[in-house]
């Protein structure tokens, strides 16, 4: 079920009404309703994969108790190893079997060795990378004695499957979200209003910005040899905007939906394109994933406490694994590698004690260019497509960057692929305004401080804009569902 679908427009109010009709004292009944709704929400994609999420939940619930009760360190470590093998085994089989099997076949073929390793026709379960990481962090934190295990299987299963953030995060930690399922929840009208504002803001970013850019981006990257110069440059820049509005939009809808049920989810994005370094970018982009890799990969590898060589290896391994987490393709590994090397260079270059305005602007432009260039590998289907975009596409830009015909041709292609494309520029201006305000203020909270008449005037204008220029004819899947 998609957040931007008509089905969800009926599903959410129904679950919301049933949830708050249940008396607050009947906590298990509310959690049971949320669990049933979450399994229904997930099962609409493919009910056969419900068994995976149930197995992952029950497996880590049992192993969490076993780790806590184990009397010696060896047994604790053994139970943790079972959890890691179980979760990563499921993830590895469905997501990475063909990648590693194909790589092995190619490697052996280079030495003239024939291999019978079989590639499998496997469907990737939606959201598997998210809920396995969320469940796995629970057992790791119990092993590290950062949290106590829960004895409530219902609460834990609901924590893993909670439908607002089940498919694409934020990847929550048990110490933050799990206790909320064990505590009484009282309806808070202010929190619900904030939630509705976040839902609409997320839908606006997704439907008005991301989905209107999608046809043009898909055409260029899908036919990487056919376009050059300004047209390709637009596609690369637009993809950076598309993926941000798509994923940040999902996160805002998820956080807003959770608010309606009395839950708090962590912030997942914080105006990342205002970053002045790659390090800062990753403190603003997909925060739940970057902090997960920091806590469970980077720091266990030694972080910056084991010498410079160990630190460099820890950074590169973390970013390469982060790239591989996004997809079983070498393009994602290269994407992670670009960020890893850029991160290292940014840390090694001497920094001024006092950052001037010029240095901040230069850092912002450099960071944006690195991030935008790296998106080529993230979006390209293959390494050949990425090469075509860079060499054939961007490599010819000097010849038509200042050509009026080239710009006109690019705009004509946009309008041909999407009749609403003529409104992309003003829609982008609205988006940029949102981002500038969000950099300094809580946008959803700030709206409540605007006088009622002005606030509702803005609402009506944005609603009209949404229905007039949003890509609402067909609900497009969120990009991060494929991960």
Domain extent for 246:
191-276+355-482
Among 168, 186, 204, the domain boundary falls at 186
Confidence at residue 103, expressed as pLDDT on a 0 to 100 scale: 61
pLDDT at 355: 74
Check residue 352 and report its DSSP letter: -
* Residue 311 pLDDT: 92
Residue 434 falls within a domain, yes or no? yes
> pLDDT tens digits, the chain, 483 residues: what are they?
788 888 999 999 999 999 999 998 899 999 999 999 999 999 988 888 898 899 999 999 999 999 999 988 899 999 999 999 999 998 888 887 766 666 655 655 666 676 666 666 677 788 888 999 999 999 999 999 999 999 999 999 999 999 999 988 799 999 999 999 998 889 999 999 999 999 999 999 999 999 999 999 999 999 888 888 888 999 999 999 999 999 999 999 999 999 999 999 999 999 999 999 999 999 999 999 999 999 999 999 998 888 889 999 999 999 999 999 998 889 999 999 999 999 999 888 776 667 787 888 888 999 999 999 999 999 998 999 999 999 888 877 776 777 788 888 888 888 888 888 788 889 999 999 999 999 888 888 888 888 999 989 999 999 999 999 888 877 788 888 777
Q: Are residues 195 and 161 in the same domain?
A: no
- 162-201 burial code (b ≥16 CB/10 A, e <16): bbbbbbbbbbbbbeebbebbeeeeeeeeebbbbbebbbbb
**Could you tell me which of 162, 236, 248, 275 has the C-alpha nearest to residue 389?**
236
First to last CA, the chain: 16
Q: Per the domain annotation, does 105 fall within a domain?
A: yes
Question: In this structure, are residues 158 and 172 in contact, taking their beta carbons and an 8 Å threshold?
Answer: no
Q: Which of 114, 176, 326, 339 is catalytic?
A: 326
- Residue where one domain finishes, among candidates 186, 202, 225: 186
| 326 noted as active-site residue | yes
Cβ–Cβ under 8 Å, residues 404 and 240? no
Check whether residue 180 and residue 230 sit in a common domain: no
Contacts of 314 (CB under 8 A, 6+ apart): 298, 301, 302, 303, 304, 306
* Those residues with Cβ within 8 angstroms of residue 22's Cβ, 6 or more apart along the chain or in another chain: 29, 30, 33
CB 99 within 8 A of CB 15: no
Structural domain includes residue 369:
yes
pLDDT value at residue 118? 66
Q: Are residues 106 and 197 in the same domain?
A: no
Are residue 21 and residue 147 in the same domain, yes or no? yes
Rounded CA gap, 27 and 135, in Å? Answer: 22
How many Cα neighbours within 13 Å face the side chain of 410? 23
Tokens of 255: 């956080």
> For residue 478, what is the DSSP state?
P
Note whether 311 and 302 are within 8 A (CB): yes
């Amino acid at each position: 079920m998609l957040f931007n679908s008509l089905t969800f427009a009926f599903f959410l109010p129904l679950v919301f009404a049933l949830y708050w009709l249940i008396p607050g004292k009947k906590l298990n009944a509310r959690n049971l309703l949320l669990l049933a709704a979450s399994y229904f929400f997930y099962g609409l994609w493919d009910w056969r994969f419900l068994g995976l999420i149930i197995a992952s939940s029950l497996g880590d619930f049992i192993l969490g108790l076993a780790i806590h009760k184990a009397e010696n360190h060896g047994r604790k470590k053994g139970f943790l190893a079972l959890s890691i093998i179980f979760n990563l085994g499921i993830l590895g089989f469905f997501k990475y079997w063909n990648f590693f099997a194909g790589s092995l076949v190619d490697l052996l073929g280079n030495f003239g060795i024939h291999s019978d390793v079989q590639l499998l026709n496997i469907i990737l379960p939606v959201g598997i990378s998210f809920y396995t990481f969320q469940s796995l962090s629970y057992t790791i934190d119990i092993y590290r004695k950062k949290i106590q295990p829960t004895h409530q299987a219902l609460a834990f299963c609901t924590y893993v499957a909670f439908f607002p953030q089940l498919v694409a995060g934020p990847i929550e930690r048990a110490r933050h979200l799990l206790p909320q399922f064990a505590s009484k929840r009282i309806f808070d009208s202010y929190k619900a209003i904030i939630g509705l504002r976040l839902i609409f803001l997320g839908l606006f970013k997704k439907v008005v910005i991301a989905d209107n850019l999608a046809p043009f981006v898909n055409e260029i990257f899908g036919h990487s040899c056919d376009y050059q110069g300004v047209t390709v440059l637009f596609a690369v820049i637009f993809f950076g905007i598309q993926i941000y509005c798509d994923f940040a939009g999902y996160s805002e809808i998820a956080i807003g939906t959770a608010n309606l049920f009395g839950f708090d989810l962590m912030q997942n994005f914080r105006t990342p394109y205002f970053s002045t370094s790659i390090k800062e970018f990753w403190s603003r982009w997909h925060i739940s994933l970057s902090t997960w890799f920091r806590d469970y990969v980077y720091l266990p590898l030694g972080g910056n406490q084991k010498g410079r060589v160990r630190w460099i290896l820890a950074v590169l391994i973390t970013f390469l694994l982060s790239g591989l987490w996004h997809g079983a393709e070498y393009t994602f590994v290269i994407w992670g590698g670009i960020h890893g090397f850029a991160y290292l260079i940014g840390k090694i270059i001497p920094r001024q004690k006092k950052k001037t305005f010029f240095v901040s602007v230069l850092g912002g432009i450099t960071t944006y260019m690195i991030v935008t260039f790296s998106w080529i590998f993230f979006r390209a289907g293959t390494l050949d497509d990425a090469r075509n975009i860079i060499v054939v596409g961007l490599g010819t830009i000097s010849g038509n960057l200042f050509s009026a015909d080239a710009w006109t041709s690019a705009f004509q292609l946009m309008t041909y692929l999407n009749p609403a494309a003529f409104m992309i520029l003003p829609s982008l201006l609205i988006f940029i305004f949102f981002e500038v305000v969000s950099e300094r203020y809580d946008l959803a909270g700030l709206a409540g401080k605007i006088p009622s008449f002005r606030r509702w005037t803005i609402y009506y204008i944005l609603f009209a804009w949404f229905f007039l220029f949003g890509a609402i004819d067909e609900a497009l899947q969120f990009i991060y569902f494929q991960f």
